[in-house]
Structure 1
Amino acid sequence: MSSTYQPLQPATLVRNAQGLPCSPRYDDVYHPAPGDGIAQSRRVFLAGNGLPGRWAGRETFTVCETGFGLGLNFLALWQAWRDDPARPRRLHMLSVEAHPFSRDDLVTLLRECVPDDLQSCAQALLAQWPPLLPGLHRLEFEGGNVTLTLGLGLAESVVPQWDARADAYFLDGFAPAGNPQMWTPALLRALSDLSAPDATLATWCSVGAVRRALDEVGFAVTRREGEAGKRHVTVGVRKPEAGAGARAQAVFAGAHEAVIVGGGPAGAGVAQSLALRGWRVTVVDEAAAAAGMTHAGHLAAACTPLIARDDNLRARLSRAGSRRALARWQDLPETGAPRVCGTVQLARDAGRAADLAGTLAVLAFPSSWVRAVSQEEAGALAGVPVRRGGIFFAEGMLVRPQGLVAGLLATPGVRRLAARVARVTRSGPQWRVIDETGQVLAEAPVLVLANAAAAPALLRTVTGNEAAWPSLAGMHRLAGEVAHVPADALAGGPRCVVGGEGYLLPGVDGLCVAGSTYVHGAERAERSAEGRDTAIGKALGLVDLPLAGDPGAGGWAGWRAVLPGRLPAIGEVPGAAGLWLATGYASRGFCWSALAGDLVGARLMGEPIPLERDLQAALGPR
């Protein structure tokens, strides 16, 4: 097991003798007096950072916070943004919490602590409160104009993984005497490294060692008189000679226009993300010219995360991807929205079932998100008998690829062009895509190559140096097919996704999708009797059902673009400003689609990135 994995230790609702919520772990209260939490947030953190006045006239404003607690600082900040006619168009908060409350406890606490005029914001926060899983969770409000990127885990692990540009800091950890890890010079340095040149800070803590540490990392600090139980507070401003922090995010300064090559899950995910942020997007899609729609005829697919005992890169990425997909897609029209039916992932054998149970014990994830299930429990969840037990992911999703991709591309601001791109060139600040006749199809300051296995060839037309990208040079196409089986032939089909060595999906339009095959070295992606038998055989190895009647001959065949290591390549191409990749999604395209879109969109808009730095590095062009 990785020595770096730290299971979350959620907070429990405990009250002190005065009835205030408190932390026995740190011997401190979450707020000082009944009904005073929001008022303290305004006095200490907003006023201490010169807010709301400091954000006037800005396009975006980002706050980094240590110690989310009950979320009172976030709610006070959000209300100030709502009430200010001179507010920035977009407001972002990054916050870290090592011991988050469950949603049920937070419901109780916010009902008590939040005044009536802020209850609508509190209810919106509760509606999006994530399962208590380690990592970054992106919550969006006000049509995406207010975001909260919540890092669950120890601050010393979470903060160095943040990727942002901070305009203000709310330092709100428990007192240094009880929680010294929240005030170490190393943590304050990691925060300082995100600073904009004019960043400010505020904290109720006035301990001399903390003030000296803040001075050493580039802030001129002042101790002021406090109130309401706080003798002093500390405020600070970035020293002019300190400048921007070493890891402060750069901001794209060009026009908000993009061209995307490829209209499948990769391109459509980026297109939606940019369009939701106000960009004008042109999607150039060869498949639209040839067959009308990428994934035409692909009836259904699954989107399910992975787990690993060491919570490795692949597991963390799949968790982040499936959660972003759910958040991004749940409000699409019915034909494109995912069906959150859950996934029963069956163990290969009894030994593997024990391994899975052991993995869950180590990870300590909430059972509401994933839990071990016996063969009988798995069958009850699926609604059909299954051959083994395993684990159940409550947020497992069934997606309808054609409707989903169409829904993403229908986002206002997206234009679709049916054409084949032969090469890419640059003209000044603009990237141009050109067809086989030499005609310029579209141009923009941002170009995203999201055309699966064809992306490396287009990249070579720009760089001419395949050796610089060994993984991309090793990308290959892998054909595969699925079978469409009448649900009546499978006792109506399962109620949830059933996975293992293959998969069987709930019925869509009276048909269940059974899959899938992997055909190396194929010249064409096509259906075959042999492939159909293989797909159905895999499904029948999961469910304990006879195949009743004629299974028919329906199905779908397509390509997977696979990179060595089976992780996609998502990010800006080094040395080619404005040129991005979103390719190599392999068999998990629907798990990567929304996450990749938000990685590109957040980076271009100067938002906090909703993914840790080490995970971004694992996905970068390579």
Structure 2
Amino acid sequence: MSSSYVPLIPAAVEFDAQGRLYSPVYGDVYHSPSGALGQADHVFLRGNGLPERWRGRGAFTVCETGFGLGLNFLALWRAWRDDPQRSRTLHVVSLEAQPFGRPDLAALLARYAPEPLAQLAGQLAAQWPPLLPGLHRLEFDGGAVTLTLGFGDAQVLAPRLSARVDAYFLDGFAPERNPQMWQAPLLKALARLAAPGATLATWACTGELRRALQEAGFEARRAPGYGGKWHMTVASAAPGAAAAAPAMADDARHAVVVGAGLAGAGIAQSLALRGWRVTVLDAGLAQGVAAHAGHTAAALTPVLARDDNARARLSRAGSARAQARWAALGPGAAPTVCGTVQLERDEGRAAALAGTLATLAFPRDWVREVNRDEASVLAGLPLARGGVFFGQGMLVQPDRLIPALLATPGVRVVPGKVAQVAADVAGWRVLDAAGAELTRAGTVVLANAFGARGVLEASRLLEPLPRVAQMHALAGEVTLIPAAALGGGPRCVVGGEGYLLPDTGAGCVAGSTYVHGATQADIGAEGQRITLDKAAGLLGGALPKFEALAPGSLPGWAGWRAVLPGRLPAVGELPHAPGLWLAAGYASRGLSWSALMGDLIAARLCGEPSPLENDLAQLIFPR
């Protein structure tokens, strides 16, 4: 991976002599001189038999190469909205190597989007993601319309997509200007995603393209073109395309989620938002203690890696999903985007950090280097060193977030400690320690952290999962410091060796300890000494009231982490137990994985395009 990282290059806004939007990289204009809306309608919609083909369908999925300004997407969305017989949901996956930044996109859409699309264009611009490589999931019309944007080289991204595509829009720059977008390797990667009966359309029309489509498994032919072009190309997937998974009947859309912490609550919300009935079994509730009760604050900050490795890509995707999924929750439950100053471990690493940021070329408003003085100004407290500032770093209150997620309509929380599961003809029976049935469903998700290992072992399902068998529990505690002892506390999250969080009204949380071999997760003087020392290490100046704090005298919270080798979670359907899913091993990044893994599981169950690239999904697959 280290040698293959290629930074994302934003599109430049340039115009040709006729005033048309023009790409200097490819020497070509962005859309038909006869009008983008007319081209979208004639070539891409009618060329794919739309809107007729989506009628009466539960879901319809389109894959596009070359997003540009998104005018094809907007025209498609409008046609779907205007059709009373439309499919229940519309999913679009679109690849773009050189996306426009949000201010440029908004200005260009204001200029080029015709009036019928103006309101939708405004919604697109408002949700436009930062220019970071990978997949970005946008949702419109209450989640009925999804747009999965792949930023990066289509040749790299297409093999990493997971979707069942009903229609393809091929809309890259002209074949003679950008030949790789029209050649067999990319077309084969896209054809792998074709659902039975899939169709394809493009304005391009050459014999070479038709031969490449044939080689990729499409049956291609010429059709009348648009706007002065004699011909365009339409195609259909050759018989034998991979069969789509049958749609699940509405009455079967019931899932049992075992565990009511960050993992379980994230899955419950994602499924309920898609119309599922969800029964959450909460072992803590059975003992009268809600998960994360008293866990007043935690941080959600992405990870950086010079080679943009899997952990960094996953954490970036997780942060974005959490922000999108949780932003509409009520006050206190929704994350506060306050930014994170992440301090370097020592002054000597500054040069390496600068090199990492230069290599990644991420947008400065997403991450930038800060010296000690800038870091201290951002935090509003004297800090020990400089580092990086993540503009999207978030403060989250788990004890308010989790109840809000579990309050999603369609979710029912019941007390119950699960000991094992047993397959039967209708799916899975969920049993307690006495063997009594707690509930049953066709879909069961074990999201009960370290407890999942015991359930799998008792159910004789652990043996094929050697990595999961190595899961262990790690105790840890955080300390609540009075904000007055920290001059009001930091204005943003401060991280590094430990972390210090802004005041939530209850105080400032400092963390965290890692206790191997603990039999209980407790608050104590030793743990508080460690967390206070970590906080002191982040702070660069004397704060007399802080230094006077006595370890053991402060409130706090203690809990458990479920940790797997490699510190990445295990998420997916168990191959040897169809209908039984695992979502465990979230380690110290429960907030990073909660919404993303919920959407990953829900997308699989609902036949949506995956919000996560295949190589990352395979890395976390239970094994």
> Does the alignment reach a TM-score above 0.5?
yes
Can you list the C-alpha shifts for 1:94-123, whole angstroms capped at 9, x where unaligned?
000000011111111111111222111101
Q: Tell me the distance in 1 between the aligned counterparts of 2:209 and 2:590.
A: 46
- Report matched runs for 1:235-274 at 5 Å: 235-240=234-239, 243-245=240-242, 250-251=245-246, 253=248, 255-274=252-271
> 1:335 pairs with 332, 337, 342, which one?
332
Q: Tell me the distance in 1 between the aligned counterparts of 2:439 and 2:337.
A: 38
Aligned to 1:4, what secondary structure does the other structure show?
coil
- Report matched runs for 1:170-209 at 5 Å: 170-209=169-208
1:24 equivalent in alignment to 2:21:
no
Deviation at 1:510, TM superposition (A): 4.0
Contact 2:66 2:96 in 1 (8 A): yes
Contact 1:570 1:583 in 2 (8 A): yes
Q: Tell me the distance in 2 between the aligned counterparts of 1:265 and 1:283.
A: 12
What is aligned with 2:489? 493
Contact 1:603 1:609 in 2 (8 A): yes
Aligned to 1:467, what secondary structure does the other structure show?
coil
| RMSD between aligned residues | 1.2
What is aligned with 2:287? 290
What is aligned with 2:352? 355
Aligned to 1:541, what secondary structure does the other structure show?
helix
1:478 equivalent in alignment to 2:474:
yes
Identity in percent: 60
Q: Tell me the distance in 1 between the aligned counterparts of 2:340 and 2:97.
A: 29
Q: What is the one-letter code of the residue matched to 2:524?
A: S
Q: Tell me the distance in 1 between the aligned counterparts of 2:255 and 2:617.
A: 21
Contact 2:196 2:244 in 1 (8 A): no
Can you list the C-alpha shifts for 1:291-345, whole angstroms capped at 9, x where unaligned?
4310001110001000100000100000000110000000011121001000000
1:572 equivalent in alignment to 2:567:
no
What is aligned with 2:79? 80
Q: Tell me the distance in 2 between the aligned counterparts of 1:225 and 1:619.
A: 47
* Divergent runs of 4+, >6 A: none
Aligned to 1:131, what secondary structure does the other structure show?
coil
Contact 2:58 2:247 in 1 (8 A): no
Deviation at 1:239, TM superposition (A): 2.4
Q: What is the one-letter code of the residue matched to 1:505?
A: L
- Report matched runs for 1:187-586 at 5 Å: 187-240=186-239, 243-245=240-242, 250-251=245-246, 253=248, 255-462=252-459, 464-545=460-541, 546-548=543-545, 551=549, 552-586=553-587
Contact 2:419 2:454 in 1 (8 A): no
Contact 1:251 1:605 in 2 (8 A): no
Contact 1:62 1:91 in 2 (8 A): yes
Q: Tell me the distance in 2 between the aligned counterparts of 1:172 and 1:611.
A: 23
What is aligned with 1:51? 50
What is aligned with 1:116? 115
Contact 2:385 2:540 in 1 (8 A): no
Q: Tell me the distance in 2 between the aligned counterparts of 1:511 and 1:473.
A: 39
Aligned to 1:468, what secondary structure does the other structure show?
coil
Q: What is the one-letter code of the residue matched to 1:485?
A: I
What is aligned with 2:622? 621
Shifted more, 292-301 versus 261-270: the winner is 292-301
Deviation at 1:251, TM superposition (A): 4.8
Aligned to 1:196, what secondary structure does the other structure show?
strand
What is aligned with 2:609? 608
1:144 equivalent in alignment to 2:140:
no
- From the superposition, tell whether residues 107 and 225 of structure 1 become closer, same or farther in structure 2 (CA, over 3 Å): same
Contact 1:164 1:249 in 2 (8 A): no
Aligned to 1:466, what secondary structure does the other structure show?
coil
Aligned to 2:279, what secondary structure does the other structure show?
strand
Q: Tell me the distance in 2 between the aligned counterparts of 1:22 and 1:444.
A: 55
Contact 1:10 1:101 in 2 (8 A): yes
Q: Tell me the distance in 2 between the aligned counterparts of 1:79 and 1:397.
A: 34
Can you list the C-alpha shifts for 1:172-230, whole angstroms capped at 9, x where unaligned?
01011110110111100011110011000000010111111111222221112212132
Q: Tell me the distance in 1 between the aligned counterparts of 2:292 and 2:32.
A: 57
Deviation at 1:135, TM superposition (A): 0.1
Q: What is the one-letter code of the residue matched to 1:361?
A: A
Q: Which runs of 5+ in 1 are unaligned?
A: none
1:595 equivalent in alignment to 2:593:
no
Shifted more, 248-257 versus 316-325: the winner is 248-257
Contact 1:425 1:461 in 2 (8 A): no
Deviation at 1:352, TM superposition (A): 1.5
Q: Tell me the distance in 2 between the aligned counterparts of 1:548 and 1:128.
A: 44
Shifted more, 249-258 versus 473-482: the winner is 249-258
Q: Which runs of 5+ in 2 are unaligned?
A: none
Q: Tell me the distance in 2 between the aligned counterparts of 1:244 and 1:256.
A: 27
Q: Tell me the distance in 1 between the aligned counterparts of 2:435 and 2:372.
A: 60
Deviation at 1:596, TM superposition (A): 0.4
Contact 2:43 2:226 in 1 (8 A): no
Contact 1:251 1:603 in 2 (8 A): no
Shifted more, 286-295 versus 19-28: the winner is 286-295
Deviation at 1:249, TM superposition (A): 5.9
Contact 1:335 1:400 in 2 (8 A): yes
Aligned to 2:517, what secondary structure does the other structure show?
coil
What is aligned with 2:129? 130
Q: Tell me the distance in 2 between the aligned counterparts of 1:249 and 1:456.
A: 32
Q: What is the one-letter code of the residue matched to 2:485?
A: A
Q: What is the one-letter code of the residue matched to 1:231?
A: W
- Equivalenced residue count is 616
Q: What is the one-letter code of the residue matched to 1:419?
A: G
Deviation at 1:467, TM superposition (A): 3.4
Q: What is the one-letter code of the residue matched to 1:146?
A: V
Q: Tell me the distance in 2 between the aligned counterparts of 1:65 and 1:206.
A: 17
Q: Tell me the distance in 2 between the aligned counterparts of 1:502 and 1:547.
A: 20
Q: Tell me the distance in 2 between the aligned counterparts of 1:366 and 1:520.
A: 39
Q: Tell me the distance in 1 between the aligned counterparts of 2:561 and 2:420.
A: 22
